Amino acid sequence: MTSPSDPGSVYPVGLRLAGRRVVVVGGGQVAHRRVAGLLESRALVTVVSPEVTPALEALVAPGSVTWHERRYAEGDLAGAWYAVAATDDPAVNAAVAAEAERDRVFCARADDRSASSVWTPAVGRQG
């Protein structure tokens, strides 16, 4: 039997997140890239972070993103379909992933691919 973190046991899938709640924990450059992609898929994005980059703040300003200007707290993933743990603190990312696992929410950890229940593939766009 393979473990959940065994890279050979990956099943490729696309997520239809339009109108569905997605929580991104973190406010740096990685979080910004994830939020931008999530907005393209019309997800309802909530960011939890004491601070965000100016580029991410620009997405918050027009109301496209809900920003909770604070540290992550247990329960932040309630009602989420998908989560991204993108802080620079491995303990916080682990806590987000643990809550996601407990609540059956797929979670991408930006800092530890092997501890993620889902991976975000690289995407190339032309035009």
Q: In the chain, what are the domains?
A: 21-115 (3.40.50.720)
pLDDT value for 124: 61
pLDDT tens-place string over residues 104-117: 999 999 998 888 88
Q: Kindly tell me if the per-residue pLDDT of 96 is higher than 50.
A: yes
SS (H, E, C) the chain: CCCCCCHHHCCCCCCCCCCCEEEEECCCHHHHHHHHHHHHCCCEEEEECCCCCHHHHHHHCCCCEEEECCCCCCCCCCCCCEEEECCCCHHHHHHHHHHHHHHCCEEEECCCHHHCCCCCCCCCCCC
pLDDT tens-place string over residues 8-49: 677 888 899 999 999 999 999 999 999 999 999 999 999 999
